[in-house]
Structure 1
Amino acid sequence: MQLRTITQQLQKECQDALDRFYEMRRLNKEPDFYNEVKPHADAIHAAIKNWQQLSHSWIKQQQPKNLYTQQIDHAADAMEQFVVQSFYKGTSKKRFIQSIQSVQYTLSILVKKLEEGDADVE
């Protein structure tokens, strides 16, 4: 799968996590961890790991300005956390939203850099 495609999927997941967070607060319910949270988190975590590896390879090859592997690592860690946190109404709203915004920024920078060059990393 191409780096650009995975990056766009993760951008969508950021918005989905935010929507899910507000929906869980509105419904005032706790999810079933093994039937709802874990299957979704496992699928997203696999995509995040794949994205992280492809991003590292692309950054090493292209050496873009103002985009570093540390940013990719931070975004991956934050996303792994907020995907799970989005299911729980007790999550701190401010911290949760700031984490999503940080990841969205990194993803948007990566998309911009990918559009400037060839992004087909196998």
Structure 2
Amino acid sequence: MGRARISLKHISNERTRKKTFMERRKVLIKKISEFSTLCGVEACLIVYDDGNGDIEPVTCPKDPVLAHSILQNYEFQKNQRPPKKFGIQDFVEDRKNIIEAEISKVHKEITNIKYPTSDPSFITWKRIN
């Protein structure tokens, strides 16, 4: 059974807003930790407070050196390989190649039907000898 949809609106009461923020931050940190553990991947979460005067973000993993190394690894990988761009021209070309392959397959089937390479009489002749 699913949850009801949450209406997203500004929480006007500052105390309630702070409490909600802290709860959501705690849940996010727990989720990212579980995700990292269960999937065996490096994951990083950075959350900035909503203006308490703290300029230090809350990170998961808590070790800032480890979080920084994960971010550097991500940046390095992002710069290593450019993202593949798949435009309308690429889509049309792929579709054309698929259709040409299907046409070629049908032509081969038609050729095999018109000009069979083996005849049933050859098979019987081999059995006799």
TM-score of the pair, normalised by structure 1: 0.31
More relative contact order, 1 or 2 (CA 8 Å, 6+ apart): 1
Q: Find the structure with the greater CA-based Rg.
A: 2
Report which of the two has the higher share of strand.
2
The TM-score with structure 2 as length reference comes to: 0.30
Whichever structure has more helix as a proportion of its residues is: 1
